[in-house]
Amino acid sequence: MYTAEIIAVGTELLLGSIANTNAQYLSRELNALGIGVCYHTVVGDNPERLRAVLETARGRADILLTTGGLGPTYDDLTKQVVAECFGRKLVYHPEVEAGIRRFFETAMHVPMTENNLRQAWLPENCTVLPNAAGTAPGCAFETGGVHVLMLPGPPHELECVFSREAKGYLQGLSHEVIRFHDIRAFGLGESAVEDLLGSRMERMVNPSLATYAKPSEVRLRATARAATEEEAEALLAPVTAEVEAVLGDYVYGVDVPGLPALCLALLKEKHLTFATAESCTGGQIAQEITALPGASAVYRGGVVSYWTEMKASVLGVPRDILDQHGAVSEPTARAMAEGARRLTGADFALSVTGVAGPDPDERNNPVGRVFVGLATPTATYCRHLELGRRQRLRIRELSVNHAFDLLRRSLTGLPVE
């Protein structure tokens, strides 16, 4: 298996002015190609330091990918330093110049300054990776068994060049077909999944199985290598089936984007609608679903009833429930969901009320106590959560996923509570 090092060039990354999202994107894409990313390196716009980084990287990885430093300004020095380190002259590419001029004329609609032509100088005998989203092309070459790919720094340009050009170059390096499936589970922690599947994962080589914990769920990636796609899929099928058998209905999907997307698909398929009533999550359930294309077909709307009075006056939560049990309680969560369903005419409604912190509420409910309600055409359910003194954002994220989990269970005929 090829190994890779990602080298991000830019002083702004070291200063914390921007996040290194390029490394995240490339790591995900390279792993999907079966290329193991062993190192992430960030270096400023300093030729001596970049040179030292490259010398180290070429001795420990088969593929080096640099991001940034390909622009037209004086501090864009990646090409010059890389070419020098690998003994390559920079040569002028007239076809790249034509592409730059065309981009300015058709996309930018502003005059091109002459310094942009610096981007037409690339290492000799390289594979040019055209940039349809900008003026700085990428390039790739091989020297002494090490493949070097230089990619632009702006994320939308990098993703364009990688997906259209660099990905094909990298796929051509291997005669193997690599396929993987993402198995997504909710309701079990990573340690519990490890306890159930750990011994199996340790024995597996091809296909392999690994867990990836996310903030509010667990993902398992099954990966297989074979001569053909069909052979790889044949290796993966029993692994996927075994994970689903062991984890049961905690598994909510394979190769699906997430719980909100799954619920959207199920609601569309069944021609059903839903609504929301949110307190401590502040509209986050609504945000998750409306971020998805096609949400208008299923989502009626919602109420952010942060203030207790809003729960009574808008959602119709009986005041005796609020007086006796408080805003953070199972009866209130049930009444909020029923109120949202009644108010919008939706088939289903989700509700969340709880204490996200940093302090207990006025009734001394502890941080992390959350009640998630679901009103359906036939019944109302509630899930009582004790999430502990996690960070406020984490409590909100978990509460949102629990809400969608209630909905997906109801829509698929699984036990809800």
Q: Which residue has the tokens 């002259």?
A: 89
Beta-strand runs (E) in 176-250? 177-185, 208-214, 217-226
Report how far residue 143's alpha carbon sits from residue 137's, in angstroms, rounded to the nearest whole number: 20
35 three-class SS? coil
Query: What pTM, to 2 d.p., does this model score?
Result: 0.78
Tens place of pLDDT per residue across the chain (417 aa)? 789 999 999 999 999 999 999 999 999 899 888 898 999 999 999 999 999 999 999 999 999 999 999 988 777 799 999 999 999 999 999 998 888 888 888 877 878 887 788 889 999 999 999 999 988 999 999 999 999 999 999 999 999 999 999 999 999 887 778 888 999 999 988 888 988 998 888 889 899 998 877 767 899 999 998 988 899 999 999 999 999 999 999 999 999 999 999 999 999 999 999 999 999 999 999 999 999 999 999 999 999 999 999 999 999 999 999 999 999 999 999 999 999 999 999 999 999 999 999 999 999 999 999 999 999 999 999 999 999 989 999 999 999 999 999 999 999 999 997
Note the pLDDT of residue 327.
Answer: 97
Structure tokens at 233: 């899929």
Specify the CATH number of the domain 3-171: 3.40.980.10
CATH superfamily of 259-411: CinA-like (3.90.950.20)
Report how far residue 351's alpha carbon sits from residue 373's, in angstroms, rounded to the nearest whole number: 5
CATH topology (fold) of 177-254: Alpha-Beta Plaits (3.30.70)
- For the chain, give every domain's residue range: 3-171, 177-254, 259-411
Report how far residue 195's alpha carbon sits from residue 200's, in angstroms, rounded to the nearest whole number: 10
- Assess whether the region 177-254 and the region 259-411 belong to the same CATH fold: no
Report how far residue 167's alpha carbon sits from residue 163's, in angstroms, rounded to the nearest whole number: 6
Cβ–Cβ contacts within 10 Å for residue 130, how many? 15
- CB 166, CB 129: distance < 8 Å: yes
Note the pLDDT of residue 370.
Answer: 98
